[in-house]
Amino acid sequence: MAVKIDQFIALQEVDRRIRSCQRDLEDLPRSIERSQRKVDSAKAELQAHHNAIKELRKQLDSRELDVRQIEDQIHKYEVQLNSVKTNKEFSALQHEIAGAKADRERIEDGSYLVLEAIDAKEGQTPGFQAKVQAAEKELQEIRQEAEAAIAERKAELEHLQKDREQVRSQIDVGELLALYEKVRSKYDGEPMAILQGNVCQSCFMSVPPNVAVKVQARHAGVQCGSCGRLLYIP
């Protein structure tokens, strides 16, 4: 007596559900990883922002040091004015003082620009901090949801594996089971294809009439001559 296809259809349906669970178990941790990368990226942006402010403050400190050094030099020149003996020396010192004061003014003007840049940067800090907080909150929510879903999928997968063994045990033709498993491994858990008319709905190639007759009679193990999938009619 020819073996019927119905049990293989049932087996494929269980395999589809198993593969769906397995995909979820692969994808759900990735959703946590993607969310973690968002947190890491937001934190890196915040750190870069802080580093930029720190660098501006270093520039400001360096300018303030330059100003103090120039002021010390101006003071020395002014002290020297009291001890010069010629107008030429006096004029030369006044020239040096004027140049130093011009340098001080130039540096101080630059310092004001640096201060404005620091103020602008610090005004942006809450935005960067809020981005980190939002990313961390999203990560926490996604982790909780994903971990709950992973637990559910693992329980479902365990149940489906038992269902598969039960369905598989009802098929007593070892050669057909081996064929099913071989084709299943080739097509990622989809070893069977619907036959509509005389056309395989997986590769859309026609099958000979005698093959179509066997499929219509619901014989198991009838393969598409083109793609090799096991043909059936729902």
User: What pLDDT is attached to residue 18?
Assistant: 94
What's 189's DSSP letter?
T
What is the token pair recorded at 90? 């006096």
Residue 49 CB contacts under 8 Å (≥ 6 apart), including other chains: 121, 124, 125, 128
CA nearest to 189, candidates 225, 164, 158, 218: 164
User: What pLDDT is attached to residue 170?
Assistant: 84
In tens, the pLDDT along 131-190 reads 999 999 999 999 999 999 999 999 999 999 999 999 988 887 888 899 999 999 998 888
What residues does 230 pair with on adjacent strands? 192, 223
**Strand 192-196 versus strand 230-232 pairing type:** parallel
What residues does 119 pair with on adjacent strands? none
CA nearest to 66, candidates 106, 95, 93: 106
Instruction: Provide the whole-model pTM.
Output: 0.72
Three-state SS at 221 = coil
User: What pLDDT is attached to residue 1?
Assistant: 36
By the 10 Å C-beta count (0-12 exposed, 13-18 middle, 19+ buried), 207 is classed as: buried
Q: Give me the amino acid identity at 232.
A: Y
Positions of the chain with pLDDT lower than 70, given as ranges: 1-3
What is the token pair recorded at 209? 């009439």
- The answer to whether residues 213 and 199 touch, using CB atoms and an 8 Å cutoff, is no
* Distance of alpha carbon 41 from alpha carbon 128, whole angstroms: 11
- The answer to whether residues 49 and 125 touch, using CB atoms and an 8 Å cutoff, is yes
